[in-house]
Structure 1
């Protein structure tokens, strides 16, 4: 058996497990974030172990010196440049905590972008199971109440991440990872379940499941509650919930910030469109010929697509001309701004698409305030635009406006670093 718990110190892990072999993965960019794997040497011959995540660093105890080659060869998924180091690890003074085992264990959650809290929950479930673990992953209908729920990964991707993690920490158990449509999933009426793993914040959910089981005459589930320690590296801007989603965030000032602090030039397509309308320019004459002098009448919206078909090619052509001119002036990055970037498919002319999204209801309120529209008028306008989901599917990086200026700058720095790495690779 081998385990890969996260977010705990080695000492804390030794309380639960007798360790004979330790594998540690180190994030080269954040060496303080250790991914610890603990392998228990079985009595029978060591099986071949292929993890879903390649291993960077292997540590082993002095007492295992005679077996290290055999154990090392059993792990197939090490990186080509991994390191092997001997460490003094003593278990004599570590109290052994007995772990009660259950045949059928359950837990549930969103499991979006598996973080340390999720991994602790999953690991504790695997440690307490002797046969089977079922994991319920919240489906779309259960996450739509969250702000910017569109940023949460598709349920299929979340299910795969959970399965991969569980098979990494113990491939000998049976796993069922399935989407759930409500709080209960299969736990409310399956008599085989014996225990459920929850965090402190979701303990009430376990109580409700037991209420359902009691009504059906089923045995109540034992509940194992995990108290999660606060992350000292977490900023005040981040959610403390286990189910929190980690995303990049930004306010409307991203472009001015990029231009001022990052040395990028800006081409604003909305300004270009207004410029091209000016009297005497070819586009102005074309529009007048096409729509007549009453182009800005109430019925003008009936020919909106025809107008766009004339305007959008002219705008992107001028934007490209300006971007190329800025490149010749020495700018390494040109930021192209456009409200219709996705609708007009101008993103196909760019190397990356950075999108700023807000919840539709918030967008409706802002449009009402800015343009003096009724709620219904604003809603129709928002619904005619690409949805947040459509933008997220196309975007390289997604931002949203719910964080402080300072935290936003940190996130922009991260995104900009990725962009610079991309540019360096293109040299």
Structure 2
């Protein structure tokens, strides 16, 4: 209710961040309804996870809003007046939990000039904007709220479809189109329920409806998407339609205390948000720990994902690592039942040194690679034996630390359904183009052979449905180590109730 300065707003948001876990509605009584006000409200750094939403006193109340805590800077407000104030913006409910007065110090800087004489809401009938809108953040909110102010009839929101996500950072961690669209609709319907019609559409190509349909009057963009607006206008000019004015909104600042990411971005972005999911818990473990028994981590990933290097890092932090690829060699060593079954199934040519000699894995691979039925027969023979050897190693190996954490390092962990042996699954992600590059450089494969090998495996999107933790070795080794240490620290403290030992260097 008092004079609006950037310092005072930041102080209010910092105090709110100490009390509020979820949604914070920000109501500025003296602020004019302009894009400058929108940008000021959403561009301030806040605590991670605080969902700030700006409301204007002239906008109608939304039946879904309730108020648990009212924070205000009006010292003369009585409890009854506090409830009335909350009900100006929210549906409210009897017996509001708490009202808290925040002192308003003398301004240390001039009041923000939020007026814009050239601005008026509802300037254009049909307005369009676009983006990926992964894990809705303040930058998205500035874009969406500005579009909702500009449009009087229809606001079209183009949301990037799955076919356009391949070049994004960590695309497999991007929310589904349905999740992203639902978050956009929820935000707009909650903050501006009396606004224009909100038309959400999936973008199968970059430019979207404004490049194909004449009936638009304006575009809203961020500095990141401004070049796309230029391409839209070029397409409209080619079609004989007028170019559209572009309202460009500013970037938002990073959240307070956010972990630095090795991504070349200084703004708040979904890419850095996805990076910060690496090493963090994505979902609960598959099963709880059992006192006195090893805690088994299933470590998996596609070819070229860096899974083995992550296993070595975990060993350096105190885990025991069971390498299922090495167990695969042992499973059909000469003299074993598995060796005899493979010779009977695939013929003597897979053992060029005779029936008592070692199996040529490359020759066997050539036999089964293009034949799914043969591949399945091979797996039916070998996988049960690897599983037996792995269980033996998990429960009979020397305990290296307390608690005893065992890493089951297996490329086919999920294909063989060995996740049932694990308490949780950790997944190593890698973009397909990087995996192809590593396979051609490391294994000497042609690009076509590398592509074929990856196509025969589960996708990272399929594997993610089982993963409690995701990691990525795309960046410098120090970045991988930081992810692994973060995941290890949380595992010991939050899931096993232990303190990381000296060897973890945490």
TM-score, normalised by the number of residues in structure 2: 0.68
Tell me the CA shift for residue 311 of structure 1.
Answer: 0.9
Counterpart Cα distance in 2 of 1:135 and 1:214:
22
Local SS of the residue matching 2:271: coil
CA contact 1:106–1:196 (8 Å) conserved in 2:
yes
> Structure 1 residue 112 and structure 2 residue 134: aligned?
yes
Question: Over aligned residue pairs, what C-alpha RMSD do you find?
Answer: 3.9
Of the three residues 404, 417, 429, the one matched with 1:345 is 417
Aligned to 2:173: 151
> Structure 1 residue 123 and structure 2 residue 148: aligned?
no
Aligned to 1:59: 71
> Structure 1 residue 36 and structure 2 residue 52: aligned?
yes
Tell me the CA shift for residue 336 of structure 1.
Answer: 0.9
Of the three residues 111, 114, 135, the one matched with 1:93 is 111
Tell me the CA shift for residue 225 of structure 1.
Answer: 1.1
CA contact 2:146–2:220 (8 Å) conserved in 1:
yes
CA contact 1:249–1:402 (8 Å) conserved in 2:
no
Counterpart Cα distance in 2 of 1:237 and 1:407:
7
> Structure 1 residue 244 and structure 2 residue 258: aligned?
no
Tell me the CA shift for residue 166 of structure 1.
Answer: 1.9
Deviations 1:56-97 (A, max 9, x none): 75312316545321354674699x997532124599934232
Counterpart Cα distance in 2 of 1:47 and 1:137:
27
> Structure 1 residue 269 and structure 2 residue 296: aligned?
no
Query: Where do residues 198-217 of structure 1 align in structure 2 (5 Å cutoff)?
Result: 198-217=221-240
Aligned to 1:4: none
Tell me the CA shift for residue 217 of structure 1.
Answer: 5.0
Structure 1 pair 77–181 and aligned structure 2 pair: CA distance change class (3 A): farther
CA contact 1:267–1:336 (8 Å) conserved in 2:
yes
CA contact 1:10–1:36 (8 Å) conserved in 2:
no
Local SS of the residue matching 1:257: helix
CA contact 1:112–1:152 (8 Å) conserved in 2:
yes
Local SS of the residue matching 1:221: coil
> Structure 1 residue 314 and structure 2 residue 336: aligned?
no
CA contact 1:58–1:83 (8 Å) conserved in 2:
yes
Of the three residues 422, 428, 438, the one matched with 1:356 is 428
Query: Which ranges in structure 2 are unaligned for 5 or more consecutive residues?
Result: 1-8, 14-25, 280-305, 351-359, 498-506
> Structure 1 residue 170 and structure 2 residue 192: aligned?
yes
TM-score, normalised by the number of residues in structure 1: 0.79
Deviations 1:190-215 (A, max 9, x none): 45533221111321222232333344
Tell me the CA shift for residue 312 of structure 1.
Answer: 0.4
Counterpart Cα distance in 1 of 2:441 and 2:322:
27
> Structure 1 residue 196 and structure 2 residue 211: aligned?
no
Aligned to 2:206: 183
Counterpart Cα distance in 2 of 1:175 and 1:331:
53
Tell me the CA shift for residue 175 of structure 1.
Answer: 1.2
Local SS of the residue matching 1:201: coil
Query: Which ranges in structure 1 are unaligned for 5 or more consecutive residues?
Result: 1-7
Tell me the CA shift for residue 122 of structure 1.
Answer: 1.8
Which is further off, 274-283 or 289-298?
A: 289-298
